[in-house]
Amino acid sequence: MNDPFVMERKGKLEDLDRSFDIQYWQRLGSAAIFSAAWEMVVQAWQLKGRSVSELRLQRTVERLQRL
């Protein structure tokens, strides 16, 4: 993702399908897809007025038992 690139598609909206979107995200790769998805999660959480710190992994121990 270090190398910038430009992808462009022109046409009427009713004639365009999702193939361009698929090609774009496949070219960016899994890390970029995950990063964009996480960014949307954070934005949605903030729109709900929730603290972003609540999104971290829960680190509570429910039960500890020696065998």
Cα–Cα distance between 13 and 19 in angstroms, integer?
13
- CA angle, 53 as apex, 47 and 56 as ends, to 5°? 110
Cα–Cα distance between 64 and 67 in angstroms, integer?
10
Please state the pTM of the whole predicted model.
Answer: 0.63
Per-residue confidence in pLDDT tens, the chain, 67 aa: 566 788 899 999 888 899 999 999 999 999 999 999 999 999 999 999 998 888 887 777 778 788 8
Burial string for 28-59 (b: 16+ CB within 10 Å, else e) reads eeeeeeeeeeeeeeeeeeeeeeeeeeeeeeee
